[in-house]
Amino acid sequence: MAEISSIVILTGAGISAESGIDTFRDAGGLWEQHRVEDVATPEGFARDPDLVLGFYDLRRKALAGVQPNPAHEALARLDAEFSGELLIVTQNVDNLHERAGARRVLHMHGELKSALCTACEMRSPWDAAMSDRPPCPVCQAPSLRPDVVWFGEMPYQMDRIYSALRGADLFVSIGTSGAVYPAAGFVRDARELGVRTLELNLERSEGSHWFHESRQGRAGELVPTWVDEILGRG
Ligand code: OAD
């Protein structure tokens, strides 16, 4: 394997599936149980805030009952032991990467454990419910919404992600269907930049043919094996 000094990793719902968190598009996934336009758009929130706040309250509460799995733990080990540049870009709004110990994590679709005030636009760490309209810790307005990116909104920190991709020599996509842009386009961006690309997913994703290499299997098995390879124990 050529010397690797800078890695960008993209994770999706598949990495948290073995922890017991529903993915979006698999059979029985969240988008079979709920209409995207009702619970994951600004228009849905304007129409029925109780429904939307209740949906995210349940998902936030559910985090207390799940644990990081071997895939999160392997990435945390990579974060601790890999001396080169590393950025774990996650589309997930759960906190399992951090709870496994990873530090170099960027939540491009926001976080369940964060509140965004629609009055003062400040973000606050958030653990409780929002459907009872608690006051914003900064401005006291009862105007909090989940700090998650909905369809039609701009994902967070895109400049930082593209800058990391430009400096990377390996891009690895883990547990994501490749259905939602801009994340789904990172593999093509990486290839145009001459970055080596690897997919680790249960099945071939929609953009699988764009990757130099695609491995199929459970994240809990594939990710620890790949991390061992990178850290030189393969
Ligand atoms: P999806 O539900 O679209 O895709 C999950 C992927 O994980 C699928 O390709 C599965 O095959 C794979 N998978 C399932 N179990 C796995 C396992 N144990 N090991 C490895 N892979 C597994 O979820 P995302 O791609 O994360 O955005 O979805 C992207 C975005 O769409 C989400 O961030 C969310 C959603 O709508 C917003 O809400 C803005």
58 φ/ψ angles, rounded to the nearest 5 degrees: -65, -40
Which residue range forms the structural domain that includes residue 1?
Answer: 1-21+68-109+155-234
Ligand 1 atom with least separation from CA of 203: 11
Q: Determine the distance separating the centroid of ligand 1 and the alpha carbon of 109, expressed in angstroms.
A: 13
Q: Whose CA is nearest to atom 4 of ligand 1?
A: 177
Active-site option among 34, 72, 109, 209: 109
47 shares a domain with 82: no
Indicate whether residue 177 lines ligand 1 (CB < 6 A): yes
195 shares a domain with 88: yes
Indicate whether residue 176 lines ligand 1 (CB < 6 A): yes
- Max distance between CA atoms of the chain, in angstroms, equals 55
Question: Number of folded domains in the chain?
Answer: 2
140 shares a domain with 187: no
216 shares a domain with 133: no
Domain boundary residue, one of 96, 130, 148? 148
185 shares a domain with 76: yes
Burial 213-228 (b: 16+ CB within 10 A, else e): ebeeebbbebbbebbe
58 shares a domain with 140: yes
Strand ranges in the chain using DSSP code E only, listed in sequence order: 6-11, 85-90, 105-107, 110-117, 123-125, 144-148, 170-174, 196-201, 213-216
What pLDDT sits at residue 14? 98
Q: Which CATH number goes with the domain that contains 88?
A: 3.40.50.1220
Q: Which two tokens stand for residue 176?
A: 């994501």
What pLDDT sits at residue 27? 84
Q: Which CATH number goes with the domain that contains 34?
A: 3.30.1600.10
119 shares a domain with 218: no
Helices (H), 109-218: 158-167, 186-192
What pLDDT sits at residue 234? 56
Q: Is 109 a catalytic residue?
A: yes
Contacts of residue 43, defined as CB under 8 A and 6 or more positions apart, other chains included, come to: 37, 152
How far apart, in Å, are the Cα atoms of 95 and each of 83, 112, 138, 231? 24, 8, 23, 24
What pLDDT sits at residue 31? 86
Q: Determine the distance separating the centroid of ligand 1 and the alpha carbon of 123, expressed in angstroms.
A: 26
What pLDDT sits at residue 40? 96
What pLDDT sits at residue 2? 67
11 shares a domain with 76: yes
Domain boundary residue, one of 96, 126, 148? 148
Helix, strand, coil distribution of the chain in percent, nearest 5: 35, 20, 45
DSSP 8-state class, residue 180? S
69 φ/ψ angles, rounded to the nearest 5 degrees: -110, 180
What pLDDT sits at residue 87? 98
Q: Determine the distance separating the centroid of ligand 1 and the alpha carbon of 38, expressed in angstroms.
A: 19
115 shares a domain with 93: no
164 shares a domain with 115: no
78 shares a domain with 42: no
83 shares a domain with 164: yes
What pLDDT sits at residue 203? 97
Question: What is the Cα–Cα distance from 202 to 59, expressed in whole angstroms?
Answer: 23
6: β partners: 85
User: Could you list the mean pLDDT of each consecutive 10-residue stretch along the chain, which spans 234 residues?
Assistant: 89 98 89 90 97 96 97 98 98 98 98 98 98 98 98 97 98 96 97 98 95 98 98 79
